């Protein structure tokens, strides 16, 4: 959905607020389903009363456009305004993982164009009718069931948004590094490449030939490129860390902490040699 950003209020590089780059990744792909207390099927079955075969809409709130006409024609239009709206959840699609919701009327009821209640997700013996202007397919992260804890749902949305921002920032980081020039960099030494080539060619059951040599040439180019990229990455990280105010819009990847073993190799060898059935 669109984000309305006024040109006069756009954050600058020096600001430590939201990134200056627009968000282009959909929020639903970062949704964590572990926050859910019910399965989609269980949510839909809440509309089925004991002893009844007619399933009613499940009450909830969904983030929907206020203009239903433009909302269906161009859901990403900058002219649209999205608000949390009272809805009745009609159905769920397993393939797309989307919920079908219907906006309630002024009386808080879910009715069709003729004022009749919508039951069983709007599916009749003839099948499902075309979507009404007030009906939408939405993702779970944009749908709050009234039967769930709103605080948990808020944490779910915040978690998805945080992961999306981090992912987009890392994608931009790798783009910066990939776009850095490699001219003038110290390439990997021929001695190191020679050792790699020797180990690769002397692999058992590998016969030398034109096809193998062609592939070795391709692999050598990849190794050179990876080496040069690693050198650029080191230089880029050093510059970003030295000028955090200037590069406040750059997010560096998290460094993996090295795990120090509790015991050294000697203790490990002693433990293996003392194990039953093992002889060295």
Return the domain boundaries, the chain: 7-160, 183-252
Task: Summarize pLDDT for 143-154 with one digit per residue, the tens.
Answer: 999 999 999 999
In this prediction the pTM is: 0.75
Q: How many residues does the chain have?
A: 280
Question: Cα separation of 280 and 278, whole Å?
Answer: 7
Strand order in the sheet with 135-138: 135-138, 98-103, 82-93, 58-65, 143-145
Can you give the pLDDT at residue 97? 95
CA dist 200 → 192, 219, 220, 221 (Å): 12, 10, 11, 15
Can you give the pLDDT at residue 14? 47
In terms of C-beta distances under 8 Å and separation of at least 24 residues, what long-range contacts does 263-266 make, across chains too? none
* Residue 157: count of CB within 10 angstroms of its CB: 16
* Residue 61: count of CB within 10 angstroms of its CB: 19
Can you give the pLDDT at residue 190? 84
In terms of C-beta distances under 8 Å and separation of at least 24 residues, what long-range contacts does 12-16 make, across chains too? 13/246, 13/248, 13/249, 14/245, 14/248, 15/248, 16/248
Alpha carbon distance, N-terminus to C-terminus of the chain: 65
Q: Which residues of the chain have pLDDT under 50?
A: 10-16, 272, 276-280
φ, ψ (nearest 5 deg) of residue 29: -75, -10
Can you give the pLDDT at residue 164? 93
């Amino acid at each position: 959905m669109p984000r309305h950003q006024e040109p006069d209020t756009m954050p600058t590089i020096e600001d430590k607020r939201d990134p200056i780059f627009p968000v282009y990744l959909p929020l639903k792909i970062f949704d964590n389903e572990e926050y859910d207390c019910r399965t989609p099927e269980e949510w839909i079955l809440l509309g089925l009363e004991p002893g009844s075969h007619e399933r009613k809409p499940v009450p909830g709130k969904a983030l929907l456009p206020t203009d239903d006409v433009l909302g269906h024609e161009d859901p990403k239009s900058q002219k649209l305004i999205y608000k949390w709206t009272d809805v009745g959840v009609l159905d769920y699609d397993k393939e797309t993982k989307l919920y079908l919701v219907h906006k309630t009327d002024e009386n808080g009821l879910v009715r069709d164009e003729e004022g009749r209640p919508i039951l069983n997700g709007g599916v009749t013996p003839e099948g499902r009718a075309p979507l009404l202007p007030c009906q939408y397919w939405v993702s779970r992260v944009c749908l709050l069931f009234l039967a769930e804890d709103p605080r948990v749902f808020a944490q779910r949305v915040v978690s998805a948004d945080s992961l999306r921002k981090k992912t987009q920032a890392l994608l931009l980081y790798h783009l910066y590094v990939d776009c850095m020039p490699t001219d003038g960099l110290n390439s990997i030494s021929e001695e190191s490449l020679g050792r790699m080539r020797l180990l690769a060619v002397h692999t058992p059951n590998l016969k030398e030939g034109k096809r193998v040599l062609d592939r070795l040439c391709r692999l050598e180019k990849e190794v050179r490129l990876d080496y040069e990229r690693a050198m650029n990455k080191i230089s880029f990280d050093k510059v970003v860390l030295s000028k955090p105010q200037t590069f406040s819009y750059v997010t560096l990847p998290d460094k993996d902490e090295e795990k120090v073993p509790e015991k050294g190799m000697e203790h490990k060898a002693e433990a293996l040699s003392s194990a039953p059935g093992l002889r060295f």
